[in-house]
Amino acid sequence: MHLHKYEKIWLIFGISSLVLFLAILAYGAFWKGTHPQSHAEVIDPDNVEAHESFQPEHLGLNDMGDGQYVVNIVASAFNYDLGKDDDEKPVNTIRVPKGSTILFQVTSTDVVHGFNPAGTNVNMMVEPGYVSSYETVFNKPGTYTIVCNEYCGIGHHMMHATLEVYE
């Protein structure tokens, strides 16, 4: 088989850049421990309460003042634990005023779950052993259904919560 000189040059260029990029990726992943930013924090999935944010009294909506909120959630098949209300009933809806900044912190005690307030740019994979967090501002009033978008078992489709942003 005859290869034209320029064809050879470009083949070598193409293959070597591929090898170079793979090497950079491997260096980052295996030697530098690079991983997705949202999974920077580790946690013991069998004892999430050891982490202050996931103690029962800190679950759900925490008003930090000045329009800043922290929402702590423990995901498990097939529920988002947002704490309990004054009547000891599980909370399923979070209400915040328009323009609020919310930091979501979510972890899982069993399998991989998803966390996606539908119609927003918040879309996280929730893995046992990690705290997935994302901060965003809610400027558009409305009712957002928070859905689990990672198949997590037989009750996957029933796993949801609600976020209400009011005027």
Q: Minimum distance between the CB of residue 107 and ligand CUA, rounded to whole angstroms?
A: 13
156 is a site residue for ligand CUA (CB under 6 A): yes
Site string for ligand CUA, 103-142 (x = CB under 6 A): ----------xx----------------------------
Q: Minimum distance between the CB of residue 27 and ligand CUA, rounded to whole angstroms?
A: 34
User: Closest CB to ligand CUA among 103 and 112?
Assistant: 112
Contact pick of 61, 69, 150, 161 for ligand CUA (by CB under 6 A): 150
148 is a site residue for ligand CUA (CB under 6 A): yes
User: Closest CB to ligand CUA among 39 and 98?
Assistant: 39
User: Closest CB to ligand CUA among 59 and 152?
Assistant: 152
Q: Which stretch binds ligand CUA (CB under 6 A): 1-9, 25-33, 66-74, 150-158?
A: 150-158
Q: Minimum distance between the CB of residue 105 and ligand CUA, rounded to whole angstroms?
A: 17
Sheet hosting strand 160-166, strand order edge to edge: 93-97, 160-166, 142-147, 113-117, 124-126
DSSP string computed for the chain? ----HHHHHHHHHHHHHHHHHHHHHHIIIIIS----GGG-EE--TT-GGGSGGGSGGGSEEEEEETTEEEEEEEEETTEEE--B-TTSPBP-EEEEETTEEEEEEEEESSS-EEEEETTSS--EEE-BTEEEEEEEEE-S-EEEEEE--S--STTGGG-EEEEEEE-
Contact residues for ligand CUA, defined by CB under 6 A: 78, 113-114, 148, 150-152, 156, 159
